[in-house]
């Protein structure tokens, strides 16, 4: 049987911990799979940014991308290799570039998800160039911001329509605060979105391919404490719903890797922010949940590269809209059908079979690795990059300790005891 090696490229920015863990885990696992009559092995390397000929043939079979959202050269390179050379990329670069939060709100409202009431507000200021001043003078209608605030209700959030990382988000509790926030908003277009009232649980669903991890989240905690270690904050049906919402959104927008924020109020989960196709992936944020992320990235990328999963460059929204337009379906019934479409999009059954057959040793290998001195060194390197010298030891012990706790719970899950 012929043997070939599939090369995975890691397109990175300031990332330290997850790529180091990914590389080490791949090396330790050293999987071999069979596909199309060939023995397939895997290697990975970090992608460099440099000039490229639009007709050159890249060496990569798959690229795990963390630059497209902010680095134009890398974004256009990803477009070239997926469009011309059929390289699989996480994520679809056109979807990352074009699907801002505004589109995501509109689309999920169209699917009937309980999105909070949201208004778009014209910018406070404009560029004084070209025809903009004339256009604004002729066609911009004066509006009463306080009346918009009254329609949305307080508290509300004024936030950039295409923002991320909570940048520029302001909570307003009155017309006076709304005017103050709007006057300071500059030239960016904003949404005014109603707050979800009386919520009791905030969760983030991290989706990687068909895999979803639902994590309790505390937005008021320091960054290192926002992803909470908790196990009993949703019941079974709510957990299933959070998983289906996350997977549906990711499949709809063609995102292999994304996170979805949801608030529970009166037993219902309300998606509030889910255009996050470059989600937080750092051990200093995810800690206990970090091993799941690295394993999930490894499983999905090996499946895609190993089976030569075709890159879906075009989005197919009509299938979801057809479900949305079926009369007399409940929201839960629609969501079940959306999720079936999402599982089909991600080849979920074939993915499960691939993992059972070829990656059955990953759990045991990961359990050993994440408790090792090598992984502690990776944690230490990340902490050094973020924390002052006098806190490095403390937070290295803290994050590594939480991952060690994951090792304990993982050993119990696998039946190996402490």
pLDDT along the chain (418 residues), means of 10: 93 95 98 94 96 97 91 94 96 89 95 96 82 76 90 95 79 95 91 96 98 96 95 95 98 96 96 92 97 98 97 94 96 98 98 97 98 98 97 98 98 78
Query: Which pTM value belongs to this model?
Result: 0.95
Helix-strand-coil percent breakdown of the chain, rounded to 5?
Answer: 45, 20, 35
Instruction: Output the pLDDT for position 203.
Output: 98
Listed residue (203, 337, 195) closest to 269, CA to CA: 203
3-state secondary structure of 63: strand
Instruction: Output the pLDDT for position 393.
Output: 98
Strands across the sheet with 190-194, in order?
A: 118-121, 190-194, 156-160, 170-172
Q: How far apart are CA 11 and CA 5, in angstroms?
A: 19
Q: CB of 338 within 8 A of CB of 320?
A: yes
A 10 A CB-CB count for 25 gives: 20
Q: CB of 190 within 8 A of CB of 251?
A: no
3-state secondary structure of 348: helix
Instruction: Output the pLDDT for position 416.
Output: 60
């Amino acid at each position: 049987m012929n043997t070939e090696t599939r090369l995975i490229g890691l397109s990175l920015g300031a990332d330290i911990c997850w790529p180091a863990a990914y590389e080490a885990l791949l090396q330790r696992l050293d999987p071999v799979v069979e596909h199309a009559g060939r023995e397939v092995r895997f290697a990975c390397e970090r992608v460099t940014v440099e000039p490229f000929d639009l007709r050159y043939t890249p060496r990569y079979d798959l690229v795990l991308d963390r630059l497209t959202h902010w680095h134009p050269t890398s974004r256009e390179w990803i477009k070239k290799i997926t469009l011309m050379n059929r390289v699989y990329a996480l994520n679809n670069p056109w979807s990352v570039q074009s699907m801002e939060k505004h589109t995501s709100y509109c689309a999920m409202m169209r699917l009937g998800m309980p999105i909070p009431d949201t208004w778009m507000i014209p910018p406070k200021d404009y560029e004084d160039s070209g025809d903009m001043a004339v256009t604004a003078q002729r066609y911009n209608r004066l509006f009463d911001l306080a009346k918009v605030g009254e329609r949305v209700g307080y508290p509300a959030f004024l936030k950039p329509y295409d923002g991320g990382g909570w940048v520029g988000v302001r909570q307003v509790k009155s017309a006076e605060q709304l005017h103050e926030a709007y006057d300071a908003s500059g030239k960016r277009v904003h949404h005014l979105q109603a707050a979800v009232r009386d919520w009791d649980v905030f969760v983030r669903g991290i989706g990687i391919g068909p895999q979803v991890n639902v994590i309790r989240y505390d937005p008021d905690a320091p960054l290192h404490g926002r992803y909470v270690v908790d196990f009993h904050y949703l019941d079974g049906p709510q957990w299933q719903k959070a998983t289906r919402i996350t997977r549906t959104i990711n499949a709809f927008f063609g995102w292999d890797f994304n996170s979805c924020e949801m608030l529970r109020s009166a037993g219902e989960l309300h998606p509030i922010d889910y255009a996050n196709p470059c989600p937080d992936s750092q051990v200093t944020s995810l800690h206990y949940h970090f091993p799941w992320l690295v394993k999930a990235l490894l499983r999905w990328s090996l499946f895609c590269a190993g089976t030569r999963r075709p890159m879906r460059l075009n989005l197919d929204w009509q299938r979801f809209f057809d479900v949305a337009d079926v009369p007399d379906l409940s929201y839960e019934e629609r969501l079940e059908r959306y999720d079936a479409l999402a599982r089909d999009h991600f080849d979920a059954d074939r993915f499960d079979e691939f993992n059972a057959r070829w990656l059955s040793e990953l759990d045991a290998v990961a359990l050993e690795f994440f408790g090792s001195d090598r992984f502690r060194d990776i944690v230490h390197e990340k902490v050094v990059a973020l924390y002052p010298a006098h806190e490095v030891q403390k937070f290295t012990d803290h994050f590594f300790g939480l991952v060690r706790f994951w090792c304990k719970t993982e050993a119990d899950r696998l039946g190996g005891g402490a």
